[in-house]
């Protein structure tokens, strides 16, 4: 697989991640996140110096730039969905730890 096809796959997976985030499907989002990380690792393996664009034609470079922009847009939207969920999870976990501390201090 060449660098541009890896970017294509990453963009597709990023779009799927956005769908999972919109659906509050956190397990699927985590699975897709691992898939994108594997694609990124493969990209780093085949182009360790990050200069794959030198081997791309002008049209391919434009496509790569569009894919990166799409992934960044998806990332912003994913974060918009994930942040409130993370905040509520932190609050839940914080409440549980306080409850345990009270029980430890004063008994059940």
Cα 20 from Cα 71, distance rounded (Å): 15
Q: Which residues contact 39 (CB under 8 A, 6 or more apart)?
A: 6, 9, 10, 13
Q: Name all domains of the chain by residue range, CATH numbers in brackets.
A: 3-78 (1.20.58)
Task: Tell me what the pLDDT averaged over the chain comes to.
Answer: 86
pLDDT confidence of residue 101? 64
- pLDDT band at residue 52 under the 50/70/90 scheme: low
**Residue-level pLDDT at 53:** 56
Residue-level pLDDT at 103: 66
- 3-state SS, residue 88: helix
Q: What is the DSSP string of 64-79?
A: HHHHHHHHHHHHHHHH
């Amino acid at each position: 697989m060449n660098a541009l096809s890896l970017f294509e796959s990453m963009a597709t997976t990023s779009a799927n991640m956005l769908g999972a985030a919109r659906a509050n499907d956190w397990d699927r989002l985590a699975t897709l996140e691992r898939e994108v990380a594997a694609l990124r690792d493969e990209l780093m393996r085949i182009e360790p110096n990050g200069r794959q664009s030198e081997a791309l034609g002008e049209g391919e470079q434009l496509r790569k730039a569009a894919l990166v922009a799409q992934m960044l847009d998806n990332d912003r939207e994913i974060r918009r969905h994930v942040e409130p969920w993370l905040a509520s999870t932190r609050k839940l976990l914080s409440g549980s730890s306080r409850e345990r501390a009270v029980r430890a201090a004063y008994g059940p």
